[in-house]
């Protein structure tokens, strides 16, 4: 289970860095790689990162209870 937590964390970080580049430079790395945000590949990446974020929400109570 620890591997899936690490994968989810990496995906959320990469998604956050992509949004940082959009906010600062108006440059979307995912749409640049896949052609546009309407392409199937880009949509899959966005969905996987979103699912990783939802999964990461389930880790939050566990982390808060450790403190």
pLDDT score at 9? 92
Long-range CB contacts (< 8 A, 24+ apart) of 43-47? none
- 3-class secondary structure, 39: coil
Tell me: pLDDT of 37 over 80: no
The answer to whether the CB of 18 falls within 8 A of the CB of 29 is: yes
End-to-end CA distance of the chain: 21
User: Is pTM beyond 0.75 here?
Assistant: yes
Closest CA to 11 of 56, 39, 49, 45: 49
- For residue range 39-67, what is the model confidence (pLDDT) as tens digits? 899 999 999 999 999 999 988 887 777 76
- For residue range 2-26, what is the model confidence (pLDDT) as tens digits? 899 899 999 999 999 999 999 999 9
């Amino acid at each position: 289970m620890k591997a899936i937590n690490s994968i989810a964390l990496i995906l959320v970080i990469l998604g956050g860095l992509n949004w940082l580049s959009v906010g600062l430079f108006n440059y979307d790395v995912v749409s640049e790689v896949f052609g546009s945000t309407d392409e199937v590949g880009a949509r899959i990446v966005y969905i996987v990162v979103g699912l990783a974020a939802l999964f990461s929400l389930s880790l939050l109570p566990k982390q808060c209870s450790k403190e």
